[in-house]
Amino acid sequence: MIFLKYSFKTKEKINNTISKTIEKYISKKEILEDLKKLFSQTKSKSVKELIIKNFSNIHNEDVIPFIIEILENADDEIRRNIAYVCKNFNDINLAHYIQKFLKSENPRLKASVIIALWQFEQLRLQLTIQISKLLLSKEKEDKIAAIFIL
């Protein structure tokens, strides 16, 4: 029994040491640069979506210029993922770049933007109006997007 406790503590200590060693050698910045390079090189939409989603896990300010750069030419799914990433930065300056997508015909994109921007009280009236429009719409997808938001 004593041996098991000792083994567990040793294994835990080894895992912590490995984690700390990895953190020393692989910085978030290096991971970010590799993901940006992969994003630029791949033609796979699903890989690009996964890369954008992972930017929210990295939570590094260096992500912001990159996502802003790709935002204009991205498709709606990539834009939805970018809105999700923007939500995690809590930066009102990002609102300027994604707010224009509230006019999108894509209700899923609109919903993602509303969710991302909801953290900013000064935008809530405008966002509430957008949610109301989705709820009052005759389109099923709009109503689903509104329910997703709520």
pLDDT in tens, 112-147: 999 999 999 999 999 999 999 999 999 999 999 999
The per-residue pLDDT for 14 is 54
Q: Higher confidence at residue 90 or residue 111? A: 111
Residue 105 pLDDT more than 70? yes
pLDDT tens digit sequence for 6-58: 444 555 665 565 555 555 556 777 878 888 888 899 888 888 888 888 887 77
What are 56-78's pLDDT values in tens digits? 777 777 888 999 999 989 999 99
Query: How far lies 131's CA from each of 19, 85, 121, in Å?
Result: 44, 21, 15
* Torsion over CA: 120, 125, 128, 130 (sign): negative
Please state the pTM of the whole predicted model.
0.76
| Number of neighbouring beta carbons within 10 Å of residue 41 | 8
pLDDT at 144 (0 to 100): 94
In a 3-state reduction of DSSP, which class is residue 51?
Answer: helix
CA neighbor of 53 nearest in space, from 43, 42, 67: 67
Question: How many Cβ atoms are within 10 Å of 28's Cβ, its own excluded?
Answer: 14
H helix count then E strand count, the chain: 9, 0
Rg of the Cα atoms in the chain: 20
Residue 8's pLDDT is what?
45
